[in-house]
Homo-oligomer: A and B are copies of this chain.
Amino acid sequence: MEDIQAIVHCDADESEAVLLEGMPEEELLYDLADLFKVFADTTRIKVLYALMGKSLCVAHIAQAVGASQSAVSHQLRVLKQAHLVRFTRDGKNVIYSLADDHVYTILSQGMNHICE
């Protein structure tokens, strides 16, 4: 079992985060809920899986997940705001890739729970 204090506190600067017997501060809870909201949609999850191990332009992502270019672009915006994907321009194309390994770990923890 992990150290629970490490969950409640993010770093040393969060020394006043403890409310309601170990409850993180309100703002942190909102940020946490917002992060999980990003993972709470199949289109976005598909996009993340499509980007595992490779970089793709928007059109190829749309093809991989079976959604329209516009829908994917809207969702990529959400993923960008959550710092889950990065992008670089390549001429007319914009190439997206996963931002860091948190995507892997969060998705795999979810899968672990579903499959018991």
Which A residues are within 8 Å of any B CB, using their own CB?
A: 1-2, 4, 6-8, 10-11, 20-24, 26, 28-37, 39-42, 45-46, 49-50, 52-53, 64-65, 83, 100-102, 104-115
Tell whether, in the assembled complex, residue B104 and residue A2 are in contact, meaning their CB atoms are under 8 Å apart. yes
Q: Interface on chain A toward B: helix, strand, loop, or mixed SS? A: helix
Knowing A49-B24, A115-B10, the reply to whether A2 touches B42 (Cβ < 8 A) is no
Query: CB-CB < 8 A to A34: which residues of B?
Result: 40
Tell whether, in the assembled complex, residue B1 and residue A114 are in contact, meaning their CB atoms are under 8 Å apart. no
Complex Cα gap A111–B10 (Å):
7
Closest Cβ of chain B: how far from A86's Cβ, in Å?
A: 14
Knowing A40-B37, A40-B40, A45-B29, the reply to whether A106 touches B106 (Cβ < 8 A) is yes
